Amino acid sequence: MMEKLIVFVEEPSMEAALELLLPQMLGDATFQIIRFQCKDAC
């Protein structure tokens, strides 16, 4: 069984969308969304 899903996103809009969608898709599984700016740093 999955302990925790970690998702990396670049856009704040994707973070907001996943905050709404992931609980519905994963049920009781825990998740963490990490926002980073690879476009500027790479």
Any idea where the domains of the chain sit in the sequence? 4-41
pLDDT of amino acid 41: 57
CB under 8 Å to 5, separation ≥6 — which residues? Answer: 22, 26, 29, 30, 31, 32
Q: How confident is the model at residue 28 (pLDDT cuts 50, 70, 90)?
A: confident
Q: Which token pair is 32?
A: 């963490």
Q: Which token pair is 15?
A: 């973070």
Please report, rounded to a whole number, the percentage of residues in the chain having pLDDT higher than 70. 86
Query: pLDDT for 1-16, tens place per residue?
Result: 678 999 999 999 999 9
Cα 2 from Cα 37, distance rounded (Å)? 27
